[in-house]
Structures are given as C-alpha cells and as structure tokens.
Amino acid sequence: MSDKNIKSGKYEFKAEVKQLLNILVHSLYTNREIFLRELVSNASDALDKLRFESTKGSEIADKDIDHEIRITFDKDKKLLWIKDSGIGMTSEEIINNIGTIAKSGTADFLEQLSKNKEDANNIIGKFGVGFYSVFMVADKVEITSKSFKADEPAVKWVSDGLGSYELSEPEEEIKRGTTIQIHLKEDALEFADDYRLKNIVKTHSNFITFPIFVGDEKVNTVSALWREPKSSVKKEQYDEFYKFLTYDSEPPLKHLHVSVDAPIQFNALLYIPKKSYDFMGLSKEEYGLDLYVKRVLIQHRNKDLLPEYLGFVKGIVDSEDLPLNISRETLQENVIFSKISSSVTSQVYSALKKMAEDEIETFNEFWIEHSKFFKMGYGDFANREKYIELLRFNSSINEDSKGLVSLKAYTERMKSDQKEIYYKFGNSREAIELDPHLEIFKSKGIEVLYLFDPVDEFVMSTVAKYKDFDLVAVDQADLKNLEKLESVKEKKKEFEDLSDDDEKHLSSLLAKMKDVLGDRIKEVKVSERLESSPACLVNPETGMSASMQKIMKIMNKDVSVPQFILEVNKDHKLVRNMLKVFKADSNDNYIGQVVEQIYESALLLEGYLYDPYNLVNRINNHLEQSSDWYVGINKL
C-alpha cells in the first residue's frame, strides 16, 4: 500500500471541456459506437506506454499480469466495462489528462464540430479528446486506475459529464491499469450486447496490437499486417488497416508495402490518402509515421522518418535493428535510424515515380490533392533530381487549367534551338493568356508553363535548372534567345514601316512619354515582343521575375511600385495615331492622357495598381467622348 494520499474531492471541468461535452451529449447521435473505438484506443496506448517503460528498464508494479484489454457488460445493471492492464494514471495524471484538453487547436476543433456534426466521429480521435465521446452513451462514468509506479495510490474518478467530477480513493484493492465503468443511457442499451460489441471491435479496432476480449473471446486479429508477406495480404486488408490508422472513411489513393532486409531490416506500410488533411486544419502537427521497434510502438507520428513535405504520407515503420530501449530524444542521432529514414524517403519517391509513369490518372489525383505539401520540398537538395522529375505544371499546350505537364515532357517538345524553359505566373489561366509578354511566345509557338500557386515561384527560382535548361520567367526572357527561333505565325503587317523622318518623331515621342511618367519608369523603348498590345512593362535586370518580386514585396509589406521599363509597340494603331497627334502638336494634352492610361493599364496587369481611381476616371472620360463619335458614325 502506498503512503501517498490522493486529493479527494470535487473538481470542475475546464470551460472548453464543458463546451465539448455539451455538444457531444446533446447533438451527436449518429455513429455513437465510436466511443468504444476511442476507449479501446486509449487502453492500447496505455499498454504501449507500459511496454515502452519496461523496455527502458523502469520498475513496473504488478509485473506479471497479461497485457490485454477486456470488455464486459451486465445488461440488467446497464453497465459496461473496458479494462486494460496498461500504464494507469495517478490522481494528478487523471486531473491533467481527463479534466482538461491539453492539445492546442481545441477552439478550432469545437468550431469544426459545431459546423459539421457528421464529421465529428471521424475527427474526434484526432484532436485528443476521444475519451469524452463516452458521454454520448453514458449517464455516468467511473474510472478506476492504478499507475505502474508502485508507490502511487489507486484513484477513482466519477462524473456524469455535466460540469464536474469527483476524485476519491477506491475502497477495493486495484491492480495496475485502468477500468472504465460506463452506466449506459436508456437509449444506449444496444451496447450491452455481445454480438454488437464484437462487431464494433472488429470494425474499428481489429488491428490493435494487444488482445481484446469481449467476454471470454479474443476478437481482434493482433497480427502485424506489415510483417506479413505481401503476397498474403489482400487489398481489403490494406484498406482496412489504413482506415484503422487514420480514421479516414475512404480507402487510400495508394498503399505501399515495403520490406527491406539489407543492409538494415525494416518493414513499412505507407499510404497516400485520397484527400489532403489540410482541410481539417490538421496539417502540421498531424504528420509523421508511427515508429515501431520489434513490433513495439516507440513513437506516434515520428517527424523524422520522412521530410515534412512528404507529410501527406501516413503509415508505420517497424525495424528489428533499432534497440528497443532507444529514447525518442536520441533517435535523430542514431545512424541506423537515419539510414532507415533515408530509405523510407527513397521508397516513397520510387513509388511516386512509378505512379507517374504507369498510372497517370492516379498520379494526377495525387498531384491535385497533395502538391501543395509536396512542392514545399524545393529546398531538399539531397532528393533534388527525383523531386524535379515529379513536378507538374499547367501549360500553354493544355486545353484548360486542368492539364498537367512535366519538365521532361516540356523539353521533349521543345524547339531544337531552344535553350530555356519558360514560365509565367498569374492568378488564372485567363489572366496569364492576356499578358502582353506572352505574345512573342505565341507567335513563335514556344510552350510556356503556367504557374498559379505562389509557392511555384519559389520552386522555379530554387530549382533554377532542369537538365541543361534554365527555367526563365517570360518577363525576364532575353529576346535575343527568342528571335533566333522560327516563327509559326507570320507577323501580321498592318502598317508600313516608318519613314526615317517618322522614326525621328517616334524617338521624340518616346522621350515625351518618359517626360510624362518621370521617375515612375526607368526608360521608354520600342518593343520587339509585342503584337496585339500597345505597350507592356518589363523588369530591368534584377534577377527576379516580376511576380517573384511581387511576392517578396508582400512578404516585406512593401507597397512601392518598382521602376519598370515601358516597352511600346510601334506597329500598333494607338501608337501610330499618337504619332500623328504628336507630329501635329507635340504638346497636345491627349498624349499625356494616353500615356498615363497605357502605363496604368500595364501596372494593373502586373498587379501593381494600388489605386484605380485615376484609371477609372480617365476611362469614363474617354468613353464619354467616344460615345459622341459612335453616335456620329452611326448617325443616331
């Protein structure tokens, strides 16, 4: 017996617990059976923790009792028990673990829960609040627990799940572990049933690695699926294990079963989910693989077996070659562990590569769902080559924004003299296609990759090269490299070449334009790249594409407009007419108005027009004037 005393008495639940209980008790009636999954999973965690303590060599109370989970019931008394011989809890642990919600993100969870009650059963376990689901079926719950630490007294916890709980010392002698006694609600008596309980365990807890008894019968499979030879495992079993592991209601997009024997032994069962976890606000903390050593769970969601950007992969890794008593803190420095982890990463890469080659549709599904994560791997230089091969982009050769091409496919289609791979970032395919910078690419028939996701900019500037080809933003392309390439379309010739005299006037006009815009631009010059637009803005050599520059500015909260070069299309009707006006009167106000308008429209396209007031005003004036002309020519 222990000489420590427990702090008996009545305790209030923390506010967020009350809130959660309120939702659980009053509004969740579908799929209530998951309370059992949650309690069994806690029992299994408790047994895992115990096993971990004993591998560390800790002193364990009641060392000889079997590691197991037992479910029993008494229909007449409306009672149900879930008992485990796991690590147990001290009174302090019970106060901290059951009376409060430790995890961050509880507020998010509560919000999700109140918005979408159907999803609640799927996400409840993931937020570390599984225990409370018992109050969906219980009027009253009694927990009796005895810690594995011999000198800690047993503790009893009782609550009706309304607002408070009571702690006391149990009268009877308790052995190590935890028993949850449930007083079933009137409308939950269905759970006091042998057949029903067995079914629930089989459905939700079949892969728990400790034996689960309902009455006297062992119900679960207990074998470690990842240790079985691949040939003996059916797709349904893989899917079932996946659902067990992730609580996902859909089967995975892909599974990967790996057994490696040399130089280091490990088995892994890895999955790519159909849906990204992002949408549940479950991204960062939730990633990681479960690490087992000799079938003993060492760590849930280990973050070092895979790089973070492959965090969409779920699953487990089990090795014979790591020491059982390895501590989580020293794992990272362990040479065997780092070999396993780089091997796991390569396995994921080869699986993705194979998928990209043999199952293009599945790969595209993967890309649409998980590329947001995956693309963050642009800084992983160790896997650079493999990473680059998997990148996909929308392209000018696609019919719509859904199409995806690889860099390899791009280079295979490339013109023989082309030395660079071109890309353009924009908010949408439509916006990109309106961009004047693209005109020369269209007339030369050069493929351009379309980037919609801001992270693509970082990907492109970090990757910088594919094979021998530089990745170049279209607004940074050196026109000399493009001019060499043959055109696919004859440049339409609407106007005669300018006479020498007119060329001189044009130079003066450009100088006038520069005067009007002043320091807002660096230079005005004749463009070689334009066809249907009168003008565009070009970045002076900064080594950064316009959109990259934009992202950097946003990050630095810098709202200044960069000093661009204004390029003018001298074979455009507007420019030719300006020249006429200019020749007649070089100080005509009209020129100033048009220049302002051209400049601001171009700024708008580049995403730099912060104040549209002047532009809108000017357009309205022009419309008003042109309406006179329209009425005139139509004799209205």
Nearer to ligand ADP, 37 or 576 (CB): 37
Nearer to ligand ADP, 130 or 377 (CB): 130
- Residue 511 neighbours by CB distance under 10 Å: 10
Enumerate residues 6+ apart whose C-beta is below 8 A from 77: none
Nearer to Mg ion, 141 or 352 (CB): 141
The tokens describing 521, both together, are 């631009």
* Residue 178 interacts with Mg ion (CB under 5 A): yes or no: no
Nearer to Mg ion, 37 or 370 (CB): 37
Name the minimum Å distance from CB 128 to Mg ion: 7
Q: Which helix (H) or strand (E) holds 613?
A: helix 613-633
Q: What region does 58 belong to: left with phi over 0, alpha with psi -120 to 50, or beta? A: beta
- Closest Cα partner for 138 from 122, 157, 119, 114? 157
Nearer to ligand ADP, 89 or 438 (CB): 89
User: Pick from ligand ADP, Mg ion, none: which does 87 bind, CB < 5 to 8 A by kind?
Assistant: ligand ADP
User: Pick from ligand ADP, Mg ion, none: which does 71 bind, CB < 5 to 8 A by kind?
Assistant: none
Nearer to ligand ADP, 50 or 197 (CB): 50
3-class secondary-structure state, position 293: strand
Residues making contact with ligand ADP (CB under 6 A): 38, 42-43, 45-46, 84, 86-89, 97-98, 128-131, 178
* Residue 130 interacts with Mg ion (CB under 5 A): yes or no: yes
- For 452, counting Cβ atoms within 10 Å of its Cβ (0-12 exposed, 13-18 middle, 19+ buried), the class is middle
Are 291 and 336 within 8 A, CB to CB?
no
* Residue 395 interacts with Mg ion (CB under 5 A): yes or no: no
* Residue 205 interacts with Mg ion (CB under 5 A): yes or no: no
Are 576 and 583 within 8 A, CB to CB?
no
The tokens describing 488, both together, are 């696919």
Are 253 and 277 within 8 A, CB to CB?
no
Name the minimum Å distance from CB 350 to ligand ADP: 33
User: Pick from ligand ADP, Mg ion, none: which does 112 bind, CB < 5 to 8 A by kind?
Assistant: none
Angle at 129 between CA 128 and CA 132, to 5 degrees: 155
Count of positions on this chain that bind Mg ion (CB under 5 A) = 2
3-class secondary-structure state, position 171: coil
- Which listed range, 82-90, 129-137, 185-193, 609-617, lies at the site for Mg ion (CB under 5 A)? 129-137
User: Pick from ligand ADP, Mg ion, none: which does 364 bind, CB < 5 to 8 A by kind?
Assistant: none
Are 510 and 525 within 8 A, CB to CB?
yes
* Residue 86 interacts with Mg ion (CB under 5 A): yes or no: no
Quick one: which of 33, 37, 42, 71 contacts Mg ion (CB under 5 A)? 42
Name the minimum Å distance from CB 146 to ligand ADP: 10
Name the minimum Å distance from CB 147 to Mg ion: 18
d(CA 316, CA 328): 16
Nearer to ligand ADP, 104 or 223 (CB): 104
> Where on the chain is the footprint of Mg ion (CB under 5 A)?
42, 130
